[in-house]
Each structure stands twice: as structure tokens, then as C-alpha cells.
């Protein structure tokens, strides 16, 4: 996106916040939400973890350092009076990509993993993991933004009509998915087969989708909370942060007004 090779994208709140701040608020805007929830802490059957208080001495994985799940995991560690090992604590946070988390979990080299769907459900159904809790249980009203739609600011300025049409299609698609769950799972599996040559079992897909809410609502309060947590962890630099202007929801709001009227 910084290289002007991508105009719109679906990403987690973490990358959206980082991109906005690294460009001094000039390169991108959040147009809408895409998903809420869909993240769980899954425990290895051999780990003896019954609660967060049992994290001490354990190896717990999250995807890339600084990403949304990593921020949530590390925040919960600190909230329970624990610290990551690299900060002098006793919790070993392992940052590796989701496929590697699956492999390490299967080998018994991880005690738990804080991961998004469908990886969380795969750990449960294929590797006998236990879903200790879903992250949504830690948020007000069980809602938090886990994916958002962003746009390159320059593209928005030059092509507002295209952006408006995209957001309209985004809202329509979100509504369609929520009304056609079974068809969505089939379409998603067909997409996986075409792009990766592999598919997921219907039981995995159904459980994974049931843990995820598709929504165009960016749940703005959760974005600010993620930024506050990332800043506390030292991910946003030493000069503080300012998210003023990160949201551009005029297209979304106009659609909502039309629906209400």
C-alpha cells in the first residue's frame, strides 16, 4: 500500500494502526469493519493449563510479533501479573505464522496458541486441543474488530466514487454472508481448493464460521483499545500515538442512512 501497488485491503486492526502511524496518518484510512471475534486461546492436551494463571513456564504461540493476536496475548499476560520471558518473566511467547503454529502444536512443542479461525478450530478438531476461551469473552458485549477494510488515502481522494461502490458491495456481501451461512462455507472451501489445492472438512468450517461474526461495523472503540494496548507494550514507539483521522466512514454512514430510511 505504501508503494501504491494496493488500493484497498482487508487486514487486522494491528497492521491498520501501524500503517496509519508509520505514515503520520497520511497513507491509509479505515473504511469499515469486516469481522468481529473469531479468535481463541487453544490449549494443548498435555499442557495442564486451566486458566491464564497457569501460563508461567509455558510456551504460548501467537502469529507475527505486533499483530492483533500477539497484542491481545501479551496484554492478558501482563493483566494477570505475569511477564514474557524476554522482559524478565516466565511466559514464553512464541511468534510464528499460523501454519507453523499448527505444526509445533502437533509435535507437543507448544502449550497453547492464541490464534484466529479457522486455525483455532483446526487445533481443536484435528489435534485434540481445548478451547480455553474465545477472545470475544474478554470484550464488552463480546464484540471487537478482528478485521477491517482499509483504503489508500491518495486513491480515496482521486476515486471517491469507486470507494463508495466498493463499500456498498462490501456491506451487501457482509449481509449476504450472514443470511447464507451454508452457501458461504461451500464458496470458501471452493476458494481454498482453487488457491491452495486443499479444503477443510465441513465440521471445521461450520465451527470456525460460527465463532466469527461478519460485520461492516468497524467497532471503533476496540480499535482505540488495541492501539492503547500496543502502545503499552512499546509497539508504537516512544513518542506516543495519535489516531485522529484514522477512520473515514462517510461511505458506510451514507449506506446506513439509506437502509434506515
pLDDT of residue 260: 58
Q: Which CATH code of 3.20.20.80, 3.40.190.10, 1.10.357.10, 3.40.640.10 fits the domain covering 8-37+142-260?
A: 3.40.190.10
Give the H/E segment covering residue 114: strand 112-116
pLDDT of residue 238: 78
| Local confidence band at 259 (pLDDT 50, 70, 90 cut-offs) | low
Q: Which residue has the higher pLDDT, 251 or 35?
A: 35
Residue 236: phi and psi, rounded to 5, are: -105, 20
CA Rg value for the chain: 19
Is 32 within 8 Å of 216 (Cβ atoms)?
Answer: yes
CA 26 to chain centre: 23
pLDDT of residue 112: 98
| Local confidence band at 255 (pLDDT 50, 70, 90 cut-offs) | confident
pLDDT of residue 239: 79
Work out the mean pLDDT of the chain and round it to a whole number: 95
Residue ranges of the alpha helices (H) in 107-219? 119-127, 153-158, 160-179, 181-196, 202-210
CATH T-level fold of 39-140? D-Maltodextrin-Binding Protein; domain 2 (3.40.190)
HEC profile for 9-76?
Answer: EEECHHHHHHHHHHCCCCCEEEEEEEEEECEEEEECCCCCCCCHHHCCCCEEEECCCCCHHHHHHHHH
| Local confidence band at 69 (pLDDT 50, 70, 90 cut-offs) | very high
Give the integer Cα–Cα distance in Å for 101 and 115: 9
pLDDT per residue over 180-223, tens digit each?
999 999 999 999 999 999 999 999 999 999 999 999 999 999 99
Domain boundaries, the chain: 8-37+142-260, 39-140
Is 29 within 8 Å of 248 (Cβ atoms)?
Answer: yes
Residue 38: phi and psi, rounded to 5, are: 80, 25
pLDDT of residue 254: 86
Q: Is the pTM of this model over 0.75?
A: yes
| Local confidence band at 158 (pLDDT 50, 70, 90 cut-offs) | very high
pLDDT of residue 7: 97
pLDDT of residue 86: 94
- CATH topology of 8-37+142-260 equal to that of 39-140? yes
**Quick one: average pLDDT of 218-245?**
93
Give the integer Cα–Cα distance in Å for 246 and 113: 30
pLDDT per residue over 77-109, tens digit each?
999 999 999 999 999 999 999 999 999 999 999
Among 99, 88, 158, smallest CA distance to 126 is for 99
Amino acid at each position: 500500500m505504501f508503494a501504491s501497488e494496493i488500493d484497498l485491503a482487508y487486514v487486522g486492526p494491528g497492521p491498520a494502526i501501524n500503517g496509519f502511524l508509520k505514515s503520520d496518518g497520511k497513507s491509509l484510512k479505515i473504511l469499515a469493519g469486516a469481522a468481529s471475534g473469531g479468535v481463541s486461546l487453544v490449549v494443548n492436551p498435555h499442557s495442564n493449563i486451566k486458566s491464564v494463571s497457569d501460563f508461567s513456564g509455558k510456551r504460548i504461540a501467537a502469529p507475527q510479533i505486533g499483530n492483533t493476536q500477539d497484542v491481545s496475548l501479551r496484554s492478558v499476560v501482563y493483566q494477570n501479573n505475569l511477564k514474557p520471558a524476554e522482559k524478565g518473566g516466565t511466559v514464553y511467547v512464541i511468534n510464528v505464522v499460523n501454519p507453523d503454529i499448527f505444526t509445533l502444536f502437533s509435535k507437543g512443542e507448544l502449550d497453547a496458541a492464541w490464534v484466529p479461525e479457522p486455525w483455532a478450530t483446526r487445533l481443536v478438531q484435528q489435534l485434540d486441543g481445548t478451547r480455553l476461551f474465545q477472545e470475544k469473552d474478554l470484550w464488552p458485549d463480546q464484540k471487537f474488530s478482528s478485521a477491517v477494510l482499509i483504503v489508500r488515502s491518495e486513491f480515496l481522494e482521486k476515486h471517491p466514487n469507486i470507494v463508495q461502490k466498493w463499500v456498498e458491495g462490501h456491506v451487501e456481501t457482509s449481509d449476504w454472508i450472514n443470511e447464507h451461512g451454508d452457501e458461504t462455507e461451500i464458496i470458501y472451501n471452493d476458494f481454498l481448493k482453487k488457491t491452495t489445492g486443499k479444503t477443510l472438512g465441513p465440521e471445521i468450517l461450520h465451527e470456525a464460521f460460527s465463532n466469527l461474526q461478519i460485520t461492516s461495523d468497524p467497532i471503533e472503540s476496540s480499535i482505540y483499545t488495541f492501539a492503547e494496548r500496543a502502545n503499552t507494550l512499546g509497539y508504537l514507539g516512544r513518542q506516543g500515538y495519535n489516531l485522529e483521522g484514522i477512520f473515514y466512514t462517510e461511505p458506510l454512514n451514507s449506506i446506513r442512512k439509506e437502509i434506515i430510511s
